[in-house]
Amino acid sequence: MSLPEANAVQGAAPVTPKPHVGFLKNNLREYGMLISLVAIMVLFQVLTDGTLLRPLNLTNLLLQNSYVVIMALGMLLVIVAGHIDLSVGSVCGFIGALAAVLMVEYEWHFIPTAIVSIAAGAVIGAAQGWFVAFRKIPSFIVTLAGMLVFKGLTLALLAGQSVGPFPVEFQRLSSGFIPDPLGGDTLRTTSLVVGALAAAALVFFKLRGRAKLKAHGMEQEPYAFFLVKNLFFAAIILFFSYLLSTYKGLPNVLVVMAVLIVVYDFVTNRTTIGRRIYALGGNEKAARLSGVKTQRLAFLTFVNMGALVALAGLVFAARLNTATPKAGLGFELDVIAACFIGGASASGGVGRVMGAVIGAFIMGVMNNGMSILGIGIDYQQVIKGLVLLAAVFIDVYNKNK
């Protein structure tokens, strides 16, 4: 006699898993990515004899991956909606070239240049989104064509040569640091205070969110996990803020990334349009029958992607202090890999903002750590490819179960 039958015969209540076990099982992907990032950082910290988390290297790690994180936020929405964008690398390079021509050759101020560049990125996204959403051409084909088109336009715009340098004010977008009005000889006090405020704000808003869920009788994560997770995140923010404060402080681009992450996390979790994007990717027909304007929604995800790619192109150009014909080469692979490694589903409807960010930093830490260890670019590509394949395999395996 089986256990359920025995319980029924004896009149005993059926055996049910403990709440925290069920919660962990349902959120294994989210916690697994975070644990993976921590494990990879600890591994490379040991293998590099502490070089990975030195303030200078940590700053470089943030600057090197800033544009990937920015584009990953847009790519996540595209993937969740059930599409893909292969043109992001080429468009990123094209926007950098456009900004270079405007600032260097036509002597535009960097503010109108940035506005025009981001608008151009949104228009490019709108053009590709129109073909995908309203003409029903597969996004793979449309954006593959876009990849080729904007590679060619970048070469034509730059006449095959690099253009630079940029004004110092523009360079600060990527290479600058927040001011330190509080002063500090060996420690950037302002950066440390900003980090402490960010950690306190994280705990405050998470507690308030939990209280709202409880008031509405909605499912919550076990209190022990909630407490440990958020205290851990707060401690990490404080720790990294301190490390960065001992060097030059918080980079400007980190502030830009943080604002974007908060905004997109809010949009995907707390707004109607965010829920509709997930519904679109989960089942387009059902979403359309429910009254969701699926064509317009898919179109807007590409417009958003184009604007974020343009911003990433400006950040990347400012970091290099020049625009080159080969800028953006292979970026689309890192961005797409970041989303899939971070838990996005290849079939759409699944993915989180923090997952994409964690995926981007997993790729960034691996790149940085392997470079410090002297591993050649050939083996780096092999390892990253295997990691991506493993992430997608786990997603498909879990879905088939």
Condensed to tens digits (0 to 9), the pLDDT of residues 272-295 reads 999 999 999 999 999 999 999 999
Task: Convert 370-392 to b/e letters by CB count within 10 Å (16 or more is b).
Answer: beeeeeeeeeeeeebeebbeebe
pLDDT score of 137 more than 70:
yes
For residues 370 and 43, what is the distance between their CA atoms, to the nearest angstrom? 11
pLDDT value of residue 348:
85
More confident residue, 342 or 261: 261
**What tens digit of pLDDT does each residue of 2-55 get?**
444 444 444 444 444 455 555 555 566 666 777 888 888 899 999 999 899 899
pLDDT value of residue 22:
54
Determine what percent of the chain falls in helix, strand and coil, rounding each to the nearest 5: 75, 0, 25
More confident residue, 91 or 232: 91
The rounded mean pLDDT for the chain is: 87
For residues 371 and 376, what is the distance between their CA atoms, to the nearest angstrom? 7
**What tens digit of pLDDT does each residue of 115-124 get?**
999 999 999 9
More confident residue, 321 or 36: 321
379-to-65, 382, 385 alpha-carbon distances in Å = 20, 5, 10
Mean pLDDT of 42-71: 91
CB 84, CB 332: distance < 8 Å:
no
Residue with tokens 């670019």: 377
- pTM of the shown model: 0.89
pLDDT score of 140 more than 80:
yes
pLDDT value of residue 9:
45
pLDDT score of 401 more than 80:
no
Three-state DSSP at 163 gives strand
Number of H helices, E strands in the chain: 17, 0
34-44+54-176+251-400: CATH topology is ABC transporter involved in vitamin B12 uptake, BtuC (1.10.3470)
Give 227's pLDDT tier (boundaries 50, 70, 90): confident
Please report, for the chain, the start and end positions of each structural domain, with discontinuous segments joined by +.
34-44+54-176+251-400
